[in-house]
Copies of this chain bind each other. A is one copy, B any other.
Amino acid sequence: MFSCWISRQYWGFSTPTGRIAHLIRGSLSRTLVLSSQRRTPEFSSFVARTNTCGELRSSHLGQEVTLCGWIQYRRQNIFLVLRDFHGLVQVVIPQEESAASVKKILCEAPVESVVQVSGTVISRPPGQENPKMPTGEIEVKVKTAELLNSCKKLPFEIKDFVKKTEALRLQYRYLDLRSFQMQYNLRLRSQMVMKMREYLCNLHGFVDIETPTLFKRTPGGAKEFVIPSREPGKFYCLPQSPQQFKQLLMVGGLDRYFQVARCYRDEGSRPDRQPEFTQIDIEMSFVDQTGIRSLIEGLLQYSWPNDKDPLVVPFPSMTFVEALASYGTDKPDTRFGMKIIDISDMFRNTEVEFLQDALSKPQGAVKAICISEGAKYLKRKDIESIRKFAADHFNQEVLPVFPKASRNWNTPVAQSILEEQRSGLIRLMEIQEDDVVLLTAGEHKKACSVLGKLRLECADLLEARGLVLRDPALFSFLWVVDFPLFLPKEENPGELESAHHPFTAPHPSDLQLLYTEPEKVRSQHYDLVLNGSEIGGGSIRIHDAELQRYILATLLKEDVKLLSHLLQALGFGAPPHGGIALGLDRLICLVTGAPSIRDVIAFPKSFRGHDLMSSAPESLPPEELKPYHIQVSWPADSEA
């Protein structure tokens, strides 16, 4: 949001905040320079221009240049501002009679037409410099001009301050891509990925290997797109990740693999998901968790954009149990405090009934979070809506308590709690004047989950009231480790399913529990969390064929025939191995501060999985399905 605002300022020249815009634009150039290591890319090699519009400075004075760009706007038929990806430059339209044809071209071409101009870089007359524009000290005195292509009436203006619906932006994506923000996002993405490749290939000897996307169904792969083949009844599937292939590459002795891999997941319309997405997919042999974590920390540090503060490594880490207890989630946003505190001990002898009730049950607990300055920033209706949220979504009672606040709206119950436990609370939770405590009681996991949600809700509320809790320049990475290996199946809690996937190795200390209490086994899975979003996950894999077979067949009750090739491969001298995948779209989204992953993808699909530009997916005539031996089964209601 911040950067949107910046770019709006920049392209529009509408306010005097151009200095910041200048910094941002400057930092884009800086990034471009540094990514190539001491050498600026030659942006004008092989093409008709001699220079980009955005690169011209006083150091170019007197040079004859040829520029190609889009007409951003025209002022009084005297000046033209020309744009390319690199920036804007002012062009002086010749007024002499002898240059009438040049003047005609430049004055008649509609905005967003493409022109090629040649001329001399000159100083702007004293007093006419524009310090808000990187090229603001110079202008180009045009000698010749050519209209390369005229522009019809546009569906919207190519100015960032012109608000457009997302549907309109997606329909005319090729126009939307001309915006500063989209250019910045896509170029930053390309640069970060390039640096990741340098780190992996050139510094650490990884091999970039492409794996197939026409594959077969994986067990439980209900979200995989199917592709009919020309053999009747036979289908390929688009894989959700190259998981099996990367493990097979380890068996094949390609002991450091990576791929910027296209993956597919058919989830219908879930917000901020795309049916196809990209992950930085990595696998190594002879590695442990520490090795993978160091690799990834180095990778992110190396590829981190130069216009951001450098990353500090190693990243902190936290067990799953700890994350749940302190943040109520396995992806804690650690940019701010407000941690969940267990205050059960304070209430062992309470006479408040619902607390007694909670504490008498297994896993029962009393939990609380402290909202700093909550009494100052939150309104009574905010607190009410928070309580309602907890009741509606979690069926959970939440009590606001104001241990020190001068004004408070404590309920009678809260009052009686206060009197008993005030000093304990104040000490344990380090309560300050104006702090509000949200207290709940119940089963440990549920109580933590609800407070974890409320913690984020309150942060949003406080920020909406002007308090800055989460510094937009802060990137808070966190490893979450020691996940459970299995979870009870939702539809049948007596059975187990993999918490992540069935190839995850159990924690070595818990190996024996596999045969006695498998639900207690921790895994060697690890997640990488950034600012409260999961941006990566991976694990040490099972390399023992018998263990893999036991887990698949006995514990998970899967049909091992579907994975017979993998089981067989593990038996032929598979090395110990592990890996990780980083979600590239999400990572770039967080780094650029974009509001949606659709803003870091050149041609994204809409919420409903549609390409609004070309209108895919679309109907096909039955004869085009014939070679694939399929026909449409029209639902009954649509036949009517």
| A contact set with B: CB distance below 8 Å | 32, 35-37, 39, 41-43, 45-49, 68, 70, 83-85, 112-114, 116, 148-152, 154, 172-178, 182-183, 186-187, 190-191, 193-194, 197-198, 201-217, 222, 225-238, 244-245, 248-249, 251-256, 262, 264, 266, 268, 275-276, 278, 284-288, 291-292, 294-295, 543-544, 565, 569-576, 601-603, 605, 609, 611, 613-620, 624-626, 628-635, 638
Contacts and interface: CB of A to CB of B under 8 A. Distances in A.
Contacts of A569: 174
8 contacts: A36-B201, A47-B291, A84-B255, A175-B251, A209-B602, A227-B227, A233-B620, A245-B602
Given A43-B256, A202-B36, A227 B230 contact: no
B208 A190 contact: yes
A47 B287 contact: yes
Q: How many of these chains are in the complex?
A: 2
B149 A573 contact: yes
The 10 closest A-B pairs by CB, nearest first: A177-B252, A41-B205, A216-B616, A151-B573, A36-B202, A46-B291, A234-B617, A174-B251, A43-B205, A229-B617
Contacts of A613: 248, 565
A624 B32 contact: no
A205 B624 CA distance: 41
A49 B248 CA distance: 21
Contacts of A275: 214
Contacts of A190: 201, 207-209
Nearest to A237: B616
A313 to B, nearest CB: 13
The CB with the most chain B CB atoms within 10 A, among A194, A204, A212, A573, is that of A573
Contact of A629 (B48, B570, B633): B633
A571 B626 CA distance: 37
| Chain B CB within 10 A, most for which of A68, A222, A226 | A226
A192 B174 CA distance: 31
Contacts of A634: 232-233, 629
Contacts of A204: 41-43, 45-46
Contacts of A244: 614
Given A174-B248, A620-B235, A633 B631 contact: yes
